[in-house]
Amino acid sequence: MSSEVLEFLKDAGVQFVRVLWCDNANIIRGKAFHLNLFDEHWEHGIGISMAQQAIPALYDAVAPNSGLGPVGEVWLVPDWSTLRILPYAPTHARVMGNMIHQGHPWLFCPRHFLKRMIAAAKVEGLDVMAAFENEFYLLQQNPGDPVPADDTVFASTLAMDLNQEIIDAIAHALISQKIAVERYYPESGPGQHEISVRYTQALQAADQQIAFRETVRAIALRHNLKASFLPKIFADKAGNGCHLHLSLWRDGKNIVNSLHPTPHTPHPTPLSPTAQAFIAGILEHLPALMALTTPSSNSYRRIHPHFWSGAFRAWGWDNREAAVRVPSNPVPPSPTHFELKTVDASANPYLALGAVIAAGLDGIQRGLELGDPVTVDPGTLSEAERQAGRMDRLPTHLGEAIAHLSQDKILLDALGPDLAQAYLAVRRTEWEALKDAELSEEVSLLLDRY
């Protein structure tokens, strides 16, 4: 097996294999080994300091109270099933790493956390499928304040023509990494785009999210542009969402809809009882979940009423202002999935998706009831009307979400004490550093990180 992989890489002219990890601040990092040392790294991978799981997005220094420090090594062991040659850097290959300590998955490893949540869903007989729906800006490579690559509007065919080469190159590069590209359109902001990819198994969806960000950024660079997924770059222009699309499966069958209503589902809703409880669990935990799904101080500049980013704790059919939208299909079966809008690409996809699964499973285990769907833009209702419908405004800054997460026993237990402590330490450090920052300062610090 290892010799076949080595031959394959040699034949392809690969020099370096990058072993990647995504840290608690959602910075994608990698260490590469030369093919000459393939045998040495095949099984045990490459060493990183334990402190890597305690580094905030701002600078390479250990966050206080993270439980981690400069002493201690973990091994980033390649998951060889994720090996891909990088179409935009063909002498390099990429493989996702699992963090291993003393021969076992390290409890601080985000990828391991998602695997644990996938296993917990399996105990309920469920498979979770997912897709991250990325929006990003293409910007000029000028120094100083960011300048969009063009000045176009939503779904503008001019934007399609202006950007045809780069969008084709991105699509081509994604497909060559076995990522199924589905739809493309220019988004509402000038220079903003959205390319959606097909849903897949949860772990693969999170891996794809890493590959997607890597690919878009690299291809943009090769076109003398800069790509950024930062949630809010321009105060008066659309933000970058990364809505999370989810579906639940049992024995290979999609069970989001309820084709056979039972006495337990008397509502005129075709959502299955399992999907209802799962969504109810997400909504129940959402203020805390947001510390993982919209985890940057910048994230909260995006989540505002009337910006289609899910500012209220509510769900609705085809409602783009509800935090959870259940899209209907043109023909039955419908619905087949649901979408969480309070997610952006500053979220570590393993942590975000794992925590969403934990919240959904809690909904199922406690039999939480899903309230009524909201049929209007909740932002147009009065405060009293929203309160009557239990549509809370979701956290308006990271500090609030962190406070919710630090009280959420279900999510903390799911993360486990080690990962929870390190994660909260990283986010608290960022919040302390940035809570009074102006947008321009935040953007100059974070634009290139995400």
Binding residues (CB under 6 A) for ligand GLU: these are 135, 238-239, 241, 302, 307-309, 320, 341
C-beta closer to Mg ion: residue 194 or 430: 194
C-beta closer to ligand GLU: residue 94 or 341: 341
Backbone angles phi, psi at 317, to 5 degrees: -75, 125
Residue whose beta carbon is closest to ligand GLU = 241
Q: How far is the CB of 134 from Mg ion (least distance, A)?
A: 9
Tell me how far apart the alpha carbons of residues 435 and 437 are, in angstroms, rounded to a whole number. Answer: 6
C-beta closer to ligand GLU: residue 177 or 293: 293
C-beta closer to Mg ion: residue 126 or 311: 311
C-beta closer to ligand GLU: residue 141 or 375: 375
Give the binding-site size for Mg ion (rule: CB under 5 A). 1
* Radius of gyration of the chain, Cα coordinates, nearest whole angstrom: 21
Specify the stretch interacting with Mg ion by CB under 5 A; choose among 78-86, 153-161, 191-199, 427-435.
191-199
Buried b (16+ CB within 10 A) or exposed e, 20-54: bbbbbbbbbbbbebebeebeebbeebbebbbbbbb
Contact 93, 87 (CB under 8 A): no
Q: How far is the CB of 135 from Mg ion (least distance, A)?
A: 5
Q: How far is the CB of 279 from Mg ion (least distance, A)?
A: 21
Antiparallel, parallel or unpaired: β 127-140 and 200-201: antiparallel
Place of tokens 């095949």: 42
Hey, CA dihedral for 81, 85, 89, 92, is it positive or negative?
positive
Q: Which of 276, 282, 255 is nearest to 264 (CA)?
A: 276
Neighbours of 122 (CB within 10 A): 11
Q: How far is the CB of 427 from ligand GLU (least distance, A)?
A: 21
What does 430 bind: ligand GLU, Mg ion, none (CB cut-off 5 to 8 Å by kind)?
A: none
C-beta closer to ligand GLU: residue 215 or 309: 309
What does 320 bind: Mg ion, ligand GLU, none (CB cut-off 5 to 8 Å by kind)?
A: ligand GLU
What does 30 bind: ligand GLU, Mg ion, none (CB cut-off 5 to 8 Å by kind)?
A: none
Place of tokens 């450090």: 429
C-beta closer to ligand GLU: residue 84 or 341: 341
Contact 108, 68 (CB under 8 A): yes
Q: How far is the CB of 414 from Mg ion (least distance, A)?
A: 29
With CB under 5 A as the contact rule, the residue among 23, 194, 344, 430 that binds Mg ion is 194
321 is a site residue for Mg ion (CB under 5 A): no
C-beta closer to Mg ion: residue 319 or 421: 319
Q: How far is the CB of 192 from ligand GLU (least distance, A)?
A: 8
Neighbours of 352 (CB within 10 A): 30
What does 341 bind: Mg ion, ligand GLU, none (CB cut-off 5 to 8 Å by kind)?
A: ligand GLU
Q: How far is the CB of 231 from ligand GLU (least distance, A)?
A: 7
Q: How far is the CB of 185 from ligand GLU (least distance, A)?
A: 9
Residues that bind Mg ion (CB under 5 A): 194
